[in-house]
Structure 1
Amino acid sequence: MHIGLGLPIADPGTLPEWAVRAEAAGFASLGLLDRLVYDNPEPLVTLAMLAGRTEHIRLQTEVLLAPLREPTLLAKQTATLDRISGGRFVLGLGVGGRDDDHEASGTDIGTRGRRLDEQLGLLRRLWSGDPFSDTCGPIGPAPTTEGGPELLFGGFRPAAIDRVGRWGGGFLAAAAPSWAGGLFEMARESWSGHGRSGSPRIVAQLNTVLGPQHLVDQARAAVLDYYEFSGRAEYMADTMLTTPREIASAIRQFDDLGASEVMLYCYGTDPTQIDRLADIVL
């Protein structure tokens, strides 16, 4: 099982150091969250910059809110990122559940799932080199990865998880080990039900912080702010893993459930956490 790092979003200026140190430590992936109406770095721009500072670590969105974006430009941006990263880019996708993000983008939150499915069909066509229409040619560049970047789908409802099999992507589970197992099984059933061979890549997420109390306090404040909209902010902060034993135990539980990778999301901005986490998990 691979271990990746979810990058903190509070200080974009520190992210090149995070990327270089994470790759040197042996982490498999770097993940980045997406919001529109929030003080976070735009993930595609940021991961493109980090692609230039690294050589082999995967770069993945977790998750990009595709319905907020115009699909032809998104096809070009993601193919470009896949190309310049040498095929290291993983496109994690979700629909977004925050009214303000959809208000700011001028999109209808009530049709976000349908919009994502329409976008996926167009993205696949454009990544394969097909023309946009009878009167409009292809949109390049061609991605390094045949058929387009690897896809991950986040979500909790059956219709969202069924995209794993329908579109041939992996599953991103932002759920605790105690209840993630059922979601994993839904993803596997979708995969086999749509006639896919093998098994889907399953990526789990854990919110973590490892360091002195002031860093724990900083991370807790960041989690409370990020999840304030949800009504579950206190729960998310209280369940953040803050000790080596908690982190190692949760990773073992995900390993037992058959996860392909666990992403350790860091809300504290101090990059020395990377070495502390590597000592435990790598």
Structure 2
Amino acid sequence: MSNGPWTDEENDLIVADYFAMLADDIAGRPYNKAEHNRQLQERIDRTRTSIEFKHQNISAVLKGLGEDWIPGYKPAFNFQMTLVDAVARWLAFHPDWLGRMPGMRPVTGLQEAAQLWIGPPPTLSNQPPPQELEQMLHIARKFDVAGRDERNRALGRAGEKRVLAHERASLQAVGREDLARKVRWVSEEDGDGAGYDIESFAPDGRSRLIEVKTTNGWERTPFLITRNELVVAEERRSEWCLFRLWNFSREPKAFELHPPLDAHVALTATTFQASFQ
């Protein structure tokens, strides 16, 4: 059995095998990880343990890319960048994967309208080990994960629709049917440009201006925010909030960030306006 660095051919084979299992997992179809492992052993000169660990490496790469990964393969870090390149090659040959409609698992109307799980935002105290975090952030920067999510209009619209249902359900749960009926999907009804996507209310009637950012990835997946959104956040601090929806295609979870945003995240300029002097 080989114990040297994995070749591009080996990486391509195991990445394709991983995505085959992942597609089954997301769709709720049964699959046999042990059988997949045995079949790979017949095609590449690697042990069962080596293949198992490489599957965990792929989970780590996908986590860094803000993508779904197989829960049964816990992400294992310290992987080679050649594996990242192999995942990127697979995605390049299968553009429909990144463009797929979110929420591939069927859901009932009751589940769709249920309130979302709202947890604490990422902080220094709950961040992963530095080396692990740096590997994931490096991948996210290299492949512009934030830009990819922003360009995925189907993902963004589905996230906004889900938060709209959450806001209405939350108000109905505390007996504020009157306010629930007034919740508006601003970006859908009026178009982009308001600096927020949803106009909702707190139970006491105070205004909530919600900017939704959605990803299929983990809670620390980077996101883009526009200058206009930052301006509105600053001008209407008491009303505006950023609603971060993550793990969307499987079991959506969320947290909220309130102004000032730079108290929670590092804001990095990614584009510049060029004017003639």
TM range (shorter): under 0.3
Bigger Rg over Cα = 2
Q: TM-score, normalised by structure 1?
A: 0.26
Higher relative contact order (CA 8 A, sep 6+): 1
Q: TM-score, normalised by structure 2?
A: 0.26
